[in-house]
Amino acid sequence: MHFQAITGWHDHIVAGCQYLKTASNGMTRRSVFSNEVIFQLAAMAIEKLMVGVCQYHQQMPADNTLTGLVAALSEVCPLDADLAGMITRIEKVDDMCSLTPERRQPPGDLDIEAILIAGREIVGFAKQHVPWDACGAAAT
């Protein structure tokens, strides 16, 4: 099946990989990177990667919440149930994207570990569902 991907999908993939790399490197620079900063960088990485996969498959998500992106991907290349669960739980850590957040506690060390694992899993997912060589060296 041949289709035309939505323009710019690879930019999202590359940006997502760069955000994840920065978040991961932040673990060794704790005097500069707080849990909140690492968490938000990793969340942006996951969002960018998921949007890139959606766009490659001509799927425009209704919204860019992590739950919305999981739903959008389910239409073209569904996430494994465990990974989908990991992604939707991330959103609940600090009421991300909520107009009326009920709590804004900084993520704990276990939250950071979980989101970085989820980020690496999403990179693996993206590698399976987009032509990775088109993403350039920044996405490795």
- pLDDT tens digit string along 17-43? 999 999 999 999 999 999 999 999 999
Tokens of residue 138, six digits? 């920044």
Could you report the per-residue pLDDT of 79-129, keeping only the tens digit for each?
999 999 999 988 887 665 555 656 567 899 999 999 999 999 999 999 999
Average pLDDT, the chain: 87
Which 8-state DSSP code applies to residue 138?
A: G
Predicted TM-score of the model (pTM): 0.88
- Which residue in 123, 111, 103 sits closest to 36, CA to CA? 111
Based on the number of CB atoms within 10 Å of its own CB, is 132 exposed (0-12), middle (13-18) or buried (19 or more)? middle
Q: Largest alpha-carbon pair distance within the chain?
A: 50
All domains of the chain in start order, with CATH: 9-132 (1.20.120.330)
- Collapsing DSSP to helix, strand or coil, 59 comes out as coil
Tokens 């099946």 belong to which residue? Answer: 1
Q: Name the H helices within 1-140.
A: 9-26, 35-56, 66-74, 81-93, 109-129
